[in-house]
């Protein structure tokens, strides 16, 4: 194996260690309480090593959030093949809770803390695309259920159905 391949692989491994330590520390202590110095200490590296991978703490947070949202999206994407929108909505809820239980640090990072991710350019470009935005994916199912008269009479606002569902499932998670 050429040394350039080995170095690239080692660099990627260090990056993954940084991300894993950061995810754990952010979930445990909050974004504000964790410094790049603390992350470096957690993996026994000099603080400057992190700057070889991330411009700053904000970039590290955005990278984590995008990766975690991608994981959640991959978990629910196959549910798009379910024809019955009500069953799809049920399964989305189960997948969301399963993600929270399987990845508690990621869940806390994404949904229980304020993060700079919300204003990230890469995050904003995903908004409204059901293939990359869980809210849009669920809203599409709610719209289909409403069109098919599968929900109770009072539930005709797809946005309200979506928000109510997320709130309920988030509470369970």
Q: Which residue has the tokens 């978990």?
A: 75
Average pLDDT of the segment spanning 129-142? 87
Residue 97: pLDDT above 80? yes
- Res 122: pLDDT: 63
Q: 122: how many CB neighbours lie within 10 A of its CB?
A: 12
Residue 132: pLDDT above 80? no
Residues above pLDDT 90, as percent of the chain: 55
- Res 2: pLDDT: 77
Q: How confident is the model at residue 115 (pLDDT cuts 50, 70, 90)?
A: low
- Res 31: pLDDT: 83
Q: Which residues contact 166 (CB under 8 A, 6 or more apart)?
A: 135, 138
- Res 50: pLDDT: 94
Using alpha carbons only, what angle is made at residue 31 by residues 26 and 37, rounded to the nearest 5 degrees?
Answer: 75
Q: How confident is the model at residue 125 (pLDDT cuts 50, 70, 90)?
A: low
| Pair 109, 68: CB distance under 8 Å | yes
- Judged by average pLDDT, the poorest of 22-26, 56-60, 67-71, 95-99 is 67-71
Residues 70 and 62: their CA atoms lie apart, in Å, by 12
Helices (H), 30-133: 36-42, 47-50, 57-76, 85-102, 104-111, 121-124
């Amino acid at each position: 194996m050429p040394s350039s391949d080995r170095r690239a692989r080692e660099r990627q491994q260090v990056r993954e260690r940084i991300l894993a330590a950061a995810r754990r520390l952010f979930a445990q202590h909050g974004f504000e309480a964790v410094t790049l110095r603390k992350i470096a200490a957690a993996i026994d590296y000099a603080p400057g090593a992190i700057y070889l991978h991330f411009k700053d703490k904000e970039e590290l947070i955005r990278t984590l959030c995008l990766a975690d949202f991608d994981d959640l999206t991959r978990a629910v994407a196959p549910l798009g093949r379910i024809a019955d929108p009500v069953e799809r909505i049920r399964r989305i809820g189960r997948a969301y809770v399963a993600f929270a239980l399987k990845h508690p640090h990621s869940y806390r990072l994404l949904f229980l803390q304020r993060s700079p991710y919300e204003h990230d350019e890469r995050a904003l470009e995903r908004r409204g695309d059901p293939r990359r935005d869980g809210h849009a994916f669920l809203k599409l199912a709610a719209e289909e259920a409403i069109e098919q008269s599968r929900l109770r009479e009072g539930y005709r606002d797809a946005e309200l159905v979506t928000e109510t569902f997320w709130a309920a499932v988030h509470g369970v998670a």
